[in-house]
Structure 1
């Protein structure tokens, strides 16, 4: 692009004319920089709020822009200005401390001041040529600024993704210490009440752009629900950590996860139990991973599914926590409740879930059996008349007996 040919298609000035104008312009560059900083201070609150160091960056950039314009104009056939020519004095600091909107204001103010100064301090014969040139130059500077911020955003996105993956990895390994909490805070994590881990298949580990897009889709849904979110892919699994006090309500959590379940690959999506704080997330992660490994034993499981609903499969798959949960949360309360609840449940299940057959075996009225079965539901939260829940109750009977026998044997040995 020939610099002297502006947006209005005017003919380029002769090289000697341009050189002479550039010399006169260079003599005014320092004053233009001073006028620009004064105008920034007068027009922009954010500039006045900066400390001395940050204001010096703005001065350097404004001066580099004006000097760059002088050099660019003096060149008979200039190239587009490189970002380093204008922003090279403090590119990283500028991108971190000064927003893109503020940078646009900086460029606009600088151009306005230069145009005003051209009319005030430059000879009348130079003004039309310089006005045309500054319009072309400002457009190139704007593109340079956009390039810097786009590159910074790309680098920041890559860094954030790696940092996020390291936090998720620490969560899965149960190593959530103060350093991990600090990294999570850097990523925007603010929740102090309620955390759950969600595990599902990665959409396509070989297509990182697809994975990133799906994680961002999940992040958007989490934000709509008022939740913090961290996510990463590990092997063929995608791990999502959600934070928010409402996650203590399992049904609500399943509803939220259901909104973004399609972001996972086809197959099960397992939701871990809520814990109180990110530092305890290893508990939710362990159970979610256990459920994800065991869910194949229940092909008809809902999507998403809570790990609590997978207790039978987890217990059969070797999860000691699940075995103890079935015994302590179902068998022990029934045993301790008395009133014939445990006996009635055993007979009812042994009789093919027939109320009448159970009543005959127990020598009680059928309504007594029905009442006791309702009490079983109240005590355990599981209904003996529901096939899936009856399956969990049946398994809890076996596990409860085995664990009770083991406890008695250990007590006897210690005596």
Structure 2
């Protein structure tokens, strides 16, 4: 039996064997569809930030994909029927949900691996006919992925073109070139925006503080609101807004006194207007080639703003300690050693020790200030600090203990490797 990945089958396998394998697989379709969709959420931020209702549609399309694959495998036609309209519709929906086309395509690779694993789990390796049929199944799987991804990409692009006018598409192309550093003469001279480009920009990035927070309204609606705020503050249309990697961003021109003076106010207004999002501000770099660097810095600052759950815009240049705590493996290790026992104690016996430590640090080591912020007596704070010292071996009332615990708590707040979360 010869197979070709375009879906053409020279010799169809034994129909009874195909039916037998499909009979084993069909009950597993909902389970594998859900597992594949959940893996999207773990791998891709775009999917992780979908609302629960929107994520249900992802599971449904994953299930529909598996059903369509089963029908293609069952078909004896050389080229099975394929309803491209359905997959184009999925592509359009993902675009409206704020999923990037890169995440959409990569998620389909994940789906393909789960589909393949499902069939592998149901093949009897000691049966030569079933192993031969597995080759046939692999050809149909590749055929389905090729057709589905092509159709979804077409639907995604068509929706993008219908959502944005030609003027806005030109603008988006220029913005994409700026934040990726892939500038060329054509982008720089593109009408109507090329002639209005500033010579340098600072990026402001906004990231949802809770999953699904940016979906009502959609990310695209957020972009329009951001641009309206920008043009109200300065009307020369040299600011640019867009969406990338689940972040809504604004590129603010800073090549003149007006831009430099209004950077702070526009960042604060965005933080006020978009209260469910963490706002980060990149550094200023001369030249358009380094807009990409400012954008990456703004993204990192917005991630820290989300981790700290602050409503204030955070500037990249003011976050050296936070960036160090976030990136240093040594500080993360110290955080695990210092806070692990305390977090484990609190898990077994809730006692507000971590909250007391945070209040004490925020109060600059002042017991009365910590007590006031927690609405407890100063003696309660003193007792809890003693318990913290007993449990961790680090006394927050001493300079070294306070330093280690402060850095450890900061690393815990903003780090991905949090101590004491096992089990």
TM-score w.r.t. length of structure 1: 0.38
**Higher relative contact order, chain-length normalized (CA < 8 Å, sep 6+):** 2
TM-score w.r.t. length of structure 2: 0.37
